[in-house]
Structure formats: C-alpha cells, structure tokens
A and B are shown apart, each in its own frame.
Chain A
Amino acid sequence: MHEINMLEIVKVSKTFSQPDGNVKVLDQVNFDLPSAASAALLGESGSGKSTLLHLIAGLDKPDSGDILLDGELVSSFSDRQWNALRRSDLSLIFQQFHLIPTLDVMDNIQLQSRLAGAVDQELLVYLITRLGLSALSKRLPHQLSGGQQQRVAIARALLHRPSLVLADEPTGNLDGETSRSVIQLLLELTRETGSGLLIVTHSQEMAGYMDHRWHLSGGRLSRRSNASLEN
C-alpha cells in the first residue's frame, strides 16, 4: 500500500450491449493493488467482478480507462504482448480448475512454466510437496478429486513465479473445509513466491483472509474496511 502499486486501474469503463439495452458494467472504476498483496473482489453475481478480472488478464478490453501492471500501461497491449505477459507475469485460476485432461499432474503443473521458458525444479518439488501432490504426480486430472485438481491448478499458477495471480471463484466448486485449506495454501504460497493475488469471490469468509477487500456494485467499486466486513 505504501510501495509502488503492482496493479493500477484508472477510470476503467465497460459497457455490454444486451437485447434490452446497454448495461454499463464498470463505470469509471479505480483500483490499485500493492506488490505481493492480496485482495478480494466482492459483489453480487452479475455485478461485473469477472469482467474486471478478464480486463486485468487481457482476455477482454476496456471501453475506456487505463490498466497498469508494474507501472506499464498494458491496456493498450497487442495480442502478442498480452500472450507474452500472460505466460510470464500472470496466472489464472478458475472455479472449474481447467486442467489439461490429457496431461498427467506433473505435466499439467509444469505447463505454464514451460510455455514461459524454464521450470524452476526446486520450486516444483517444493510446491508439489507443499500442496501434497507428490503421490499423485502420474495421475490424470479425471482421477483426482476437486480439491486435488484445484491444488494442481495452484501449483501450475505459481511455478513460474507470476507477479499477479488472478483467481475467479477458485473455491466455488469445493466444500467448506477444502475451500479453506485451498485458500490458505494459495495465500501462503503467493506470499512465498512474492506474487500478488486478486480473487473474485462472493464468500465473505474467503474475502476475510485477504489484505484488501473491494466491493463492486452498480458499476462502482468501493474499498471495504475489515470493520465493515465484520458488520
């Protein structure tokens, strides 16, 4: 909060045209996330949380406004630049895990690092151990439980030491106990790898674990204090 913000969003707007008129999902939204910090993005379903996440990941483009990653204006990046950025600096974690069904656990974990360049073998071993995947390394995704699959996705997301991990309802498909352990692991590991973490969630409990909480409503984004959460 007191250093250079690793993610900065300035006056970003996004409108979707629907059969019954245009919907302004994001209206002049401002947002920042300090390096290696974690934040939760809360809001009703359909409030535009995922849209904001997609804009940050470069999967969609804003109508207006700027997005800065590590001080670099990425909202004007070309597809090629985005590809490179996603390979090395970003990671996405989804509710549905999105593992490659044809690859075993080991290959799945290494995939993004391999795309980005080299695999940090030390970190690999560490992550596998930390995430409790050692015994499962030869298994295919469909042979894993949901929690196991999400842990594989987390390993994959962190192995290339991204500066920012974006997670879209990462625990949406998991039961309470598993959710908590997954989030805990995610938080601990991002801190260890020095990655920032932005998770979209509608669970107050999950949001409570984060350094910062933001609430999106009516296209407006507002910062929430811990106090207001507890209310």
Chain B
Amino acid sequence: MIQFENVSKKFRTVTVLDKVTLNIQAGERIALVGFNGAGKTTLIRCLLGEYNHQGTILVKDQAARKQRQQILAHVGFVPQLPPPLKMPVGQLLQFAADLCHSQVERMRKIGERLGLDLDQLWNRPFVKLSGGQKQKILISIALGRDSQILIMDEPAANLDPEARRIFFSLLDECPKDTVMLISSHRLDEVAALVNRVVEMDRGQIVLDDKVADQVNLSHQLHCQIQFNRNEDAFAKALQTWQFSSDEQQLVWQGQIAGADRLRFLGMISRYAGLLAQVQLEEVQS
C-alpha cells in the first residue's frame, strides 16, 4: 500500500533521511521508533506530501507529493505537538469535516467517547485546551472520517489511562486493512499496539521486525496488586490509573487496557521493592 524507495531528505548540508526503503502492506500496524532526530517526523512529513525529497514515495501507486490531495483524503494524522490554533473547537471540527467529506457529528461522537464534553468546549479556542483535550480533538478528527492510513505521532502520550483504553478500542474498530504508522521515541509506549517495529537512527532504518505477539486492542486486564507497606507515591500513581484500594491501602484493584500492559508494568516496576503480589487476568470488554 505504501512504498518508500531510496527516500533521502537533506536540509542544507544535513542529511535527515538517508536512502530509506520501506514497504508497508495493508493492515500493518507499525511502530516507528527512534531517538529524537532519528528522522521519524521527517519521514512522516514526506509521506504526508509536505516535504520535497529524493527517491520515491508511492501510496496506492500515487506519488505522495504530486497527488498529495488525493492521498490525504484517505489519511488521518495526529501530530505529536498540537498546533496552536486559535480557532474554536467547533470551527476546527467543521473545517476538517468539510475538507475530509465527513460529518462533524461523527467526529463529535468519537470525542465524546474519549471523554470530551464538546458542548462545553465547542466555542473555546483550541489553543486554550489542556494537552489531553487537544490530543482527543485531534484523534477525533483523524478517526472521525474514512481513513485507510492512520499516521500518529505519540498519539496517546497526553491521554489518561481511561482515555487510552477507549483510544485502543477505537483503533481496534478501524477496518482490518487500515495501515497504522505510530511514531514514538519509546517502544514501550506503542509496542502493544503494533505488529511490526521499524527503528530509525540517523536517517536510516536500523531495525525492521515483525511482532509475533498480537494483542487484541479491545481486551482489558483486571489487575490486583498487593504491597507490603503503604507508600503515597505508589498510591498516587495507581489513582491516576483509576485503581481503588482497601482501607489500609495495601491491596489495589482496577482494570487496564490490554494494549497498555507494558506501560503499566513499566510504571509498577519503579516500585518493585514494595510489591508483595501482582495478578493480571484478561477479561472480556
């Protein structure tokens, strides 16, 4: 579906992409990982037809730059940094819906599922929203239309655990042949979402690996944690995951999204010395 063939990009004398070749098939969910400056954002901008480049980028046999408008009609994009748009949320949704031949109502529904009170936010300038609200609006625009390709740059970084769970469910609802390209500088943030990992370093692809362990994005895990003494920092961390505890605050329970388990385990590993028992059990959503 997407072909990068010897794609290079230079800014003056600095080579940011160096002969990148990559083929992406329909239905692949790819984690694009690498340190800052590895070339991930430049690769995405080339794919979005925003940068001139050497080499070829074809999306469904159309050149990314020359036929950008036709290609972008099928691409949902969530940037890493929300743009500082002063326009009200309602106007942004209307503008995006008009351009993408979608309906505002469809985007609204996604936003509401993610926990946004859009009636309240409708006339507020986008730039004045919190980081999480902005991210949810941008996700609503990307998912509230017919996209065959989803390009997301750290899409869940600003979301709370509940919104992340819903976000994963929304991704799971996308047609199975949807291509997802999820960029992150941390693999643990996105590992559970993908079935292929592409790592970039200094403008080149240094790793291209298929992930055998596929996680059902809509699954949830029931988690019970017991620890040997009460610790405020741990309690606060668990409260952000909406866990509840017994009176002594020694036993905590809650649910996490299946796709979030690596991130969750990463979080509790910081308190490994306090843990007496950890139990994770898959439950039906």
B partners with A: no
* Residues on B facing A (Cβ under 8 Å): none
* Residues on A facing B (Cβ under 8 Å): none
